[in-house]
A and B are shown apart, each in its own frame.
Chain A
């Protein structure tokens, strides 16, 4: 029973398209995150939400719009995809302490 699940696992799309990545956690956590792992494997926070409210937006372009319909879900919608958006995107959740990560979504923009 996966704690933090993301879909899709792989996403290949053309420049200019709009795409969404979905994330769900079944841990009952209040806080959810999106992280981006670049080609050098560095993980950087993009957004964090607590109880469906945006807490942190780390100067991410406004082409990226997270949406949290409820505490268990945090989806990431990306408009007008660019080559530089190619990366692995990780969703995570936590409840004050330990953070749990999903398996990642590898986005390739061609």
Chain B
């Protein structure tokens, strides 16, 4: 069964810290993996997309890596800011028509 797990479920850090969010998935034959951010009561904002042939993607202070063989992806946030506080969701596609989401990591960055 194709499943996506995210740990930790919640994380609270002081401003300025570098942090790592984890996403693990069963079945390494993925099509792509996407990281999203969701603010309370809002929709999903796409952060980074990693194709199955890629190892990592970077956007500003965000870096996402992909290790298919171990079924893991990590989202690295450098120099965290209070504005980074949100829920971060990992979604894995095992084909072009279906994304399976993890349960998310709720991040709070304290000023």
Whether B29 is near chain A, meaning CB under 8 Å from some CB there, is no
Contact B34 A31 (CB under 8 A): no
Which residues of A83-110 are within 8 A (CB) of B?
Answer: 90, 92, 94, 96-104
- Chain A residue with the shortest CB-CB distance to B101: A43
Contact A45 B99 (CB under 8 A): yes
A50 to B103, CA, bound (A): 26
Overall SS of chain B's interface: strand
Chain A neighbourhood of B43, CB < 8 A: 90, 101-104
Contact A41 B49 (CB under 8 A): no
Chain A neighbourhood of B51, CB < 8 A: 97
Contact A99 B103 (CB under 8 A): no
In the complex, which of the residues A40, A56, A100 contacts B97, with contact meaning CB atoms closer than 8 Å? A56
